[in-house]
Structure 1
Amino acid sequence: MTTSIIGFPRIGENRELKFNTEKYWRKEITEDQLQSFAKDLRLKHWNLIKDTGIDGIPSNDFSFFDTTLDTAYLFDIIPEAVKKLNLSQLDRYFALARGYQGDEGDIKALPMKKWFNTNYHYLVPQFSKDTDIKLTDTKIFDQFQEAKDAGITTRPVIVGPFTLLSLSEFHDVKATDFVDDLVQAYQAVFEKLAQQGAQWIQLDEPELVKDVTGDKKTLFEDIYAKLLQNKSGLKVLLQTYFGDVRDVYSDLIKLPVEGIGLDFHEGRKTAELVKSGFPDDKILFAGVVNGKNIWRNHYEETTELIKSLPAKNIVISTSCSLLHVPFTIENETFSTEIKQHFAYAKEKLTELDDIQAILNGNGQVAETKNKQLFEKPRVQPNPAVHERVAKLTKDSFVRHPALAERATIQKQEFNLPLLPTTTIGSFPQTKEVKKIRAQFRHDEISQAEYDKFIAGHIDEWLKWQEDIGLDVLVHGEFERNDMVEYFGQNLDGYLFSKNGWVQSYGTRGVKPPIIWGDVARNHPITVKWSKYAQSKTDKIVKGMLTGPVTILNWSFPREDISIKDSTIQIALAIQDEVLDLEKNGIKIIQIDEAALREKLPLRKTDWYSEYLDWAVPAFRLVHSKVQPTTQIHTHMCYSEFTDIIPAIQNLDADVISFEASRSNLEILDALQKENFQLQVGPGVYDIHSPRIPSVEEIKTTIHKILAKVPEEKVWINPDCGLKTRGIKEAKASVENLTQAAKEVREELLVHDRN
């Protein structure tokens, strides 16, 4: 047996790619310097994988921003406005990812959505009548050649054509219009790679783990019937992940491909499918090492699984790309007792090597050590938490009175103007803010000095919000490093890594906390600074919390209990915080569920039976005990919500804000169709781009919203929090937002008077 991986973290052991890319954006280094650094980083990673003993090494899994964007760029699937920019190839690429505002024009960034059921984000390719697919970029070939020149033969990786079309947006055209041209472009890639000496190509087709029926299945069959007619002598690995391929398994094993990659972790039916039969002339790339979580692999279970499979030729692989886990456990400060339970990307390479050795009969030492690890219990349960969960009843998940009655009560309570304005919560996390937090964390400044700094920042930003006329204020979250990690640090049952960074999008990294044991709250978390901020203004200041489903989904969850059980524990802890905020005079409480959709099963048939039936009640549990005069907001971002509108309404919040600008307000049609009852705040501008929207641009967006949503139910806010933006652009954008809302409000009042 041999070993392989699907992909490797590209950010570097110490996030070197992030820091160098951002230096380039700030014009502190040249394009040549950035490219030279990236080349060295790729070589370092290839050598690491090779030296660990991995046989199948991928290339082209590296990206400066996103591999889906890379694939679109490779085939010239680029808006005409971007093609016309008089910029370098790299800067045009970044214009697609970040937007562009300058002498060459004003370009909005491409839409950004969640990558399947992960916290990674991809850029959505755009197809139109002007799209002329052709092979124009050289990245996939350049990186294969780099590795070859270093004596390493890699397997180039590319997003497969079926997934590429399935994830794209089409304007006045349809996916089937582009099949023939796209097939020819992929075949051109095959031909050129073969000329360079490549032996394999990996086509990533995670879309196949969704429901693939009807027209969708026809599209897949049409693409691959044509594509595989000419492989230029390359061996093709058709790689899937994040689930099983039950709808197309019988079709896949008949395709003239040499390898099929299947996920044995999230693919609930994968083992069953393979045991029903797997052809002798194909290689099964068995994804048995979990690429999405950081717990050690159970070697005995894994080796028994592999032995039970009837496939004649098996490659031991990861369940998905290791992009979704941190780089290495070596840089962590956990005790040896704790550290032995974790495997980051580098350690997962060793796990693959160990499993191979065990199966080949020479891995006894690794097998014995691993067996000893799993023989003893890792944690002791918290009896108080289990007792509290056991006492929950149906009514524990229901808020009284009903939504319509609460809306009337809150309207009288708050007396807010039409189209009330607010922000999502956070303000820019400057170097100064991060430095002070670090100094406090390392005991370099006192509690009093730290509190004085945070209070000063809150005072400054409260005054600015009042000066520009925002209606509902926020305190800015300057005391928080991350919307999930901050809560985890204040809850029992969590561990925190020092360098456990994972790429979320572009240069944005997150450091998910680790759920180690039972979760409970033993002291107030946010009350101090929310109460302070409210005491400094007569306007309403929102309390800001992260919801239980997002805390779970943006953590590395336990594998010894269900994620449902973990989420209910977290919900009870956050419920305590909600009630404490209410007791301390906080009248509006925002409970962010940015990641509600993230763990949604990829098959619609499993949505309610396996996820929403407990995820939605978990959110309701958090706010079920508040008074009707307390208004509950929630926020969701960068996912596709149009198909779960009934579930979102069932959250029973009073107001929901969500990302909308990059998705062209498409969700509004779904809200209108479903007769949505909650008040809504569709984001009126994209905070993930540095460009500053004008007043007129925001007014146009507001009018589009009002065409679909009754004016009395509309809030005006940005897409998301502003922590990643600079002060200048954040203030200018929000000032324009506030002015736009005022002007539209005046227009509506004049219209009503007439």
Structure 2
Amino acid sequence: MRTLAYGFPKLGDRREFKSLLENFWKGKITEEDLTEGMNRLRDWMVDNYRQYVDLFPSNELSYYDFVLDTAVMVGAIPSRFGKYQGLSTYFEMARGKRALEMTKYFNTNYHYLVPELETPNFHLLKNFPLEDYNYFSQKGIDTLPRLLAPYTFLVLSKAPKRTDSSPFAVLQLAPIDSVDVLQQYASALIPLYREVLKSLASAGAKVVLMEDPALTKEMTDEEWRLVTEIYHQLAGILDIYVLTYYDSVSNYERFVQLPVKGLGLDLVSNVENLENIKKLGFPQDKVLIAGILNGRQVWRANIEQKARLVEDLSKECRELVISNSCPLFHLPISVEPEDQLPEGLKERLAFAREKLQELKLIKGLIEGDRQALEEASRISKILATDIGRRDHVRERVRSLKEEDFRRSVPYRERIKLQQDILNLPLLPTTTIGSFPQTEEVRKMRTAYRNGRITQEEYKAFIKKQIEHVIKVQEEIGLDVLVHGEFERTDMVEFFAEKLEGIATTKHGWVLSYGSRVYRPPIIYGDVERTHPMTLEEISYAQSLTSKPVKGMLTGPVTILNWSYYREDVPKHEIAYQIALALLDEVRDLEKAGIKVIQIDEPAFREGAPIKRRDWEKYFDWAIKAFRLCSNAQPQTQIHTHMCYSEFNEVIEYIYQMDFDVISIEASRSKGEIIAAFENFKGWDRQIGIGVYDIHSPAIPEKEEIKRILERAMKVIPVELLWVNPDCGLKTRNWEEVIPSLRNMVDAARELRTEKNPATT
């Protein structure tokens, strides 16, 4: 038995990856400096693997996103970027003015850049797998080159599709939903992949890891025939290990018949894979790569139980490799530096490095190592205890009734009451919530946390920031204001720090996209709110202006999905506990006179299971959780925000959330998201159109914004439209934000006048 790990986080112990990228973008270091720094991180990643596991990959350190790397490898450079000019083009595709669309990688919080396949004319532009394999080979280190499989690459991509039924009647990019089109693009990709595999074989590689998580989606027989043909074409050059993760493979019998040497199955996220192995057996001529350690959760494994599982699996196959269930980049690097966690929690945790140690420990236990035996026994005793239990919280959830999930007045009546109070113009303008978190803001927050300034000094500083942002918004002419969120590090972490039963970390950083990092909280006990969380700052902001200021909350589904959550109670119960805590906050905000409350749910779609057959159960409790926390007075206008989701797939579920206004992303997707509302009959909710991309430093032109809004008006009545950026502004600087918002407000005012000449 051997051990394999993959997907180790590239961030570095001190977030070196983030520093390298951002210093390069700011012009503080050269491309040569960037390359040298990235090579040090490459060595660091492999050194982590080499300490603990037998097999590990190369080609894992992307400069931005591994899906983008694959697009560059196959020459899928959209024509608007011109001839590929190395890193300048690469980063222009990632974060430039006309950057590729960004969306979630399957049902995770990792964002990937969506390849645009204008034609099926691929060519080998950059052989990243060979370059990285040679880098380590020259050091005498044997690695398994890692590639994104052709099928998954195509499933994640978009290709031209004529949408004659739409009012736009243009050739748009859309997900490839035709097997014939998939076949066309796959036929063009296969020779290129063969070329890459041959180059690796010539360089001495014996095995390649082919990640194919799209095989866990619901697939037709035609799609399986295509996948089988792809691997038939790739077979025979070197051994291929196919890795699947995040769910069970859609057809186990077809999967195990693929003409490859090794098959990787996620045995954590589902029970179906293991049941199929036991029921249908496993081919004796293939390697079983058993994903037995959870790559998405931070909980320490019960080593004794995992060892018993491995022993059972070894009876089903001739050659067994044990591994993580999915890439480890969903985890922080190590729990070791965490010294301020609640009592009894740290010893229950295993981050990425500890997962590697667990693989080694399981192997040692099976091989009879005495130290491994003692350590496994010690861990079992720790995990047998309970922490964070609050019986009164559980009783409150058990006592919920149907009316708790339903607002007392229907939307059509609520909206009239709200407009009488708010008196908003046509095309009202607002922002999503946050404003620039400048270096000064970050320094003051750090000084407060480290005890270098008092709480009074910190609060006075935050008040000055709020005063400034209210003044800026009024000068720009926004209609509904926000308090800027200067006191918040992160939209989930902020609330986690104020709720009982949730822990936060000091160094538990995880990459979300590019250089953007966040620290997922850890839900370890029953969740409870013991005091107001946002009331002070939002009330102060409202006292400074006669315009409405939004109360800003993060929704229960997002707090749950963007945290590491406990596994000893059902997810829906955790969601309801969080929702009840937020409901208490909503009621306090209402008592303080706040008329508009935004409850952000960007992870609502992300949390849905990969297979649609499992959607009803998930969306049932996700919708209820939102409705529970938003069960406000009818006069209170409830907003929500979502970004970078496939709205077309879930719009019916979104409508059932019963909000008053939703803000959505519509910039990188070039407004195509608006088409989701074409086929939805009876849509009557207000929609805030995200008219410019906050992930790019480019300042949007007024005419660009007007084009997006005019396109929206072809589908959505102007009376329902709001105007806003597509996400929060915390990562931008004031020099970008102010002119961008001015252009946005000017565009809205001009269209407002055109649609209603009486508007002043």
TM-score higher than 0.5:
yes
- The aligned runs of 1:550-569 (5 Å cut-off) are 550-569=558-577
Task: Please give the per-residue CA displacement for 1:474-529, whole angstroms capped at 9, x wherever unaligned.
Answer: 11000111100000100111111110000100100110111121100000000001
SS at 1:680's partner residue?
strand
The letter for the 2-side match of 1:352 is L
Q: CA deviation at 1:41?
A: 1.2
The letter for the 2-side match of 1:133 is F
Task: Please give the per-residue CA displacement for 1:141-189, whole angstroms capped at 9, x wherever unaligned.
Answer: 1111111122211011111100000110111483332221200011011
The letter for the 2-side match of 1:60 is N
Aligned match of 1:719: 726
Aligned match of 1:260: 263
Identify the match of residue 672 of structure 1 among 670, 678, 691.
678
Aligned match of 1:570: 578
Question: 1:119 and 2:119 equivalent?
Answer: no
C-alpha distance in 2, partners of 1:272/1:557?
A: 25
Task: Please give the per-residue CA displacement for 1:242-286, whole angstroms capped at 9, x wherever unaligned.
Answer: 0001x3221121122010010001133010111121001100100
Aligned match of 1:90: 87
Question: 1:329 and 2:335 equivalent?
Answer: yes
Question: 1:69 and 2:78 equivalent?
Answer: no
C-alpha distance in 2, partners of 1:751/1:439?
A: 52
C-alpha distance in 2, partners of 1:161/1:383?
A: 50
Q: CA deviation at 1:751?
A: 10
Q: Which moved more, 1:134-143 or 1:258-267?
A: 134-143
Can you give the 5+ residue segments of structure 2 that lack an aligned partner in the other structure? 163-180
C-alpha distance in 1, partners of 2:650/2:482?
A: 28
Question: 1:300 and 2:304 equivalent?
Answer: yes
- The aligned runs of 1:521-670 (5 Å cut-off) are 521-609=529-617, 611-624=618-631, 626-670=632-676
Question: 1:177 and 2:184 equivalent?
Answer: yes
Question: 1:340 and 2:347 equivalent?
Answer: yes
C-alpha distance in 1, partners of 2:183/2:478?
A: 47
Aligned match of 2:396: 388
- The aligned runs of 1:147-546 (5 Å cut-off) are 147-172=136-161, 174-228=181-235, 231-232=236-237, 234-245=238-249, 247-275=250-278, 276-309=280-313, 310-334=316-340, 337-362=344-369, 363-375=372-384, 377-546=385-554
Does the aligned pair in 2 maintain the 1:468–1:735 contact within 8 Å? yes
Does the aligned pair in 1 maintain the 2:501–2:525 contact within 8 Å? yes
Task: Please give the per-residue CA displacement for 1:178-229, whole angstroms capped at 9, x wherever unaligned.
Answer: 221200011011000001111111111111111111543343234334333x
Aligned match of 1:103: none
Does the aligned pair in 2 maintain the 1:274–1:311 contact within 8 Å? no
C-alpha distance in 2, partners of 1:297/1:463?
A: 52
The letter for the 2-side match of 1:746 is T
Q: CA deviation at 1:457?
A: 1.1
C-alpha distance in 2, partners of 1:382/1:63?
A: 44
Task: Please give the per-residue CA displacement for 1:358-377, whole angstroms capped at 9, x wherever unaligned.
Answer: 122223122222222223x2
SS at 2:336's partner residue?
helix
C-alpha distance in 1, partners of 2:94/2:603?
A: 21
Aligned match of 1:58: 57
Identify the match of residue 133 of structure 1 among 122, 125, 142.
122
Does the aligned pair in 1 maintain the 2:388–2:501 contact within 8 Å? no
Can you give the 5+ residue segments of structure 1 that lack an aligned partner in the other structure? 100-106
Task: Please give the per-residue CA displacement for 1:730-753, whole angstroms capped at 9, x wherever unaligned.
Answer: 111111111111111111124999
Does the aligned pair in 2 maintain the 1:649–1:677 contact within 8 Å? no
C-alpha distance in 2, partners of 1:75/1:474?
A: 44
SS at 1:519's partner residue?
strand
Task: Please give the per-residue CA displacement for 1:600-622, whole angstroms capped at 9, x wherever unaligned.
Answer: 0100011012x111111010000
C-alpha distance in 1, partners of 2:635/2:48?
A: 58
The letter for the 1-side match of 2:740 is S
The letter for the 2-side match of 1:262 is L
C-alpha distance in 2, partners of 1:223/1:402?
A: 53
Q: CA deviation at 1:139?
A: 2.1
Q: CA deviation at 1:81?
A: 2.2
Q: CA deviation at 1:90?
A: 1.2
C-alpha distance in 2, partners of 1:218/1:41?
A: 40
Task: Please give the per-residue CA displacement for 1:533-586, whole angstroms capped at 9, x wherever unaligned.
Answer: 000001011010000010011111012212111111000000000010010010
Does the aligned pair in 2 maintain the 1:427–1:723 contact within 8 Å? yes
The letter for the 2-side match of 1:733 is S
The letter for the 1-side match of 2:690 is G
C-alpha distance in 2, partners of 1:549/1:635?
A: 12
Task: Please give the per-residue CA displacement for 1:313-368, whole angstroms capped at 9, x wherever unaligned.
Answer: 11010001110000011221146843211111111111000111112222312222
Q: CA deviation at 1:381?
A: 1.7
Does the aligned pair in 2 maintain the 1:243–1:268 contact within 8 Å? no
Q: Which moved more, 1:629-638 or 1:167-176?
A: 167-176
Does the aligned pair in 1 maintain the 2:252–2:273 contact within 8 Å? no
Q: Which moved more, 1:23-32 or 1:304-313?
A: 304-313
Q: CA deviation at 1:667?
A: 2.5
SS at 1:724's partner residue?
coil
Does the aligned pair in 2 maintain the 1:680–1:713 contact within 8 Å? yes
C-alpha distance in 2, partners of 1:180/1:419?
A: 48
Does the aligned pair in 1 maintain the 2:333–2:508 contact within 8 Å? yes
C-alpha distance in 2, partners of 1:664/1:296?
A: 43
C-alpha distance in 1, partners of 2:91/2:270?
A: 35
Task: Please give the per-residue CA displacement for 1:606-661, whole angstroms capped at 9, x wherever unaligned.
Answer: 1012x11111101000022x211100000011221211111101100000001121
Question: How high is the TM-score relative to the length of structure 2?
Answer: 0.95
Q: Which moved more, 1:340-349 or 1:326-335?
A: 326-335
SS at 2:582's partner residue?
helix
Aligned match of 1:104: none
C-alpha distance in 1, partners of 2:678/2:161?
A: 23
Does the aligned pair in 1 maintain the 2:304–2:377 contact within 8 Å? no
C-alpha distance in 1, partners of 2:257/2:498?
A: 53
Q: Which moved more, 1:264-273 or 1:497-506?
A: 264-273
Aligned match of 1:11: 11
Aligned match of 1:102: none
The letter for the 1-side match of 2:126 is D
SS at 1:473's partner residue?
coil
The letter for the 2-side match of 1:314 is L
C-alpha distance in 2, partners of 1:160/1:751?
A: 58
Task: Please give the per-residue CA displacement for 1:433-469, whole angstroms capped at 9, x wherever unaligned.
Answer: 0111111112211222212211111111111111111
The letter for the 1-side match of 2:101 is P
The letter for the 1-side match of 2:297 is N
Task: State the aligned residue count.
Answer: 735
Question: How high is the TM-score relative to the length of structure 1?
Answer: 0.95
C-alpha distance in 2, partners of 1:183/1:689?
A: 34
C-alpha distance in 2, partners of 1:214/1:667?
A: 30
User: For the structure 1 residues 406 and 218, does the alpha-carbon distance in structure 2 shift closer, same or farther, using more than 3 Å as the test?
Assistant: farther
Q: Which moved more, 1:558-567 or 1:334-343?
A: 334-343
